[in-house]
Structure 1
Amino acid sequence: MSDMTETATTDERRDRGGRFVIGGKPGPGRPPGARSKLGEAFLEDLRDAWNEHGKEALRRCATEDPSQFCRIISNLLPRDIDINLAATVDAVSFAARFRAAVELLHDEPQGKLKIIEHENAGHRR
């Protein structure tokens, strides 16, 4: 009976049975962005089928099975959208830019502008 944890002298990553050894050094793996040959062949076939039948297949799906068509479209859309926006508005400069824009348009805004005066203890004019 052989010892299962014994490593082969030619490869420190595998035992004599060809299985990976726990704690062995990993190999370089596939380069980033590389696809398997099967994946590449599938994508080429998909591209060829799309070039031949794509638009007509979409039109037929949209008219014959609208629910499936909508499902296809919804599966293409992202599930989650993470929008983080940190915006600070300086009211004084915004008001100045707004007044300048109104003057450039040579038009008065609809209704009368209300001016709110506020004196902040930490901010002096």
Structure 2
Amino acid sequence: MSHPFTTVGVPRVVVASFWIWIASAALGLLSFFIGLPALLASPAVSAPTGPGIVIGGIGGAVIGSLLRVFLGLFLLRGAGWARIVLTIIGALVLLGLVASIAVGDLIGLLSGIAVVVAAVLMWLPSARPHFRRA
């Protein structure tokens, strides 16, 4: 049986990028759930649409994290499209980084920094051959 998601023969920078994407997903979830009590205390949640806001927020956080893990696995396989989608996700995370800085969310800030590092690593010249052969 072959292992489609292996690190054998994968450049170190790509493997490091993969693990940093995983870490950023975990940090992003942690940041969301630590900030959840503040969301629950906000006036928007007491409105009739409040439960939808909370459920949507939880769903978005979980799906966003799972998406990073899923795409990270394809990054290991050398899928160039996964590298592009992760770059787009990274740009969206960076937009949220402004909010993390504004509210003093250290874990959100660490998640944003992890995204930047992971994105840079997967685009380094030493990673290019891995994506050309796929």
TM-score w.r.t. the length of structure 2 is 0.23
Higher RCO, Cα 8 Å, sep 6+: 2
Name which one, 1 or 2, has greater alpha-carbon Rg.
1
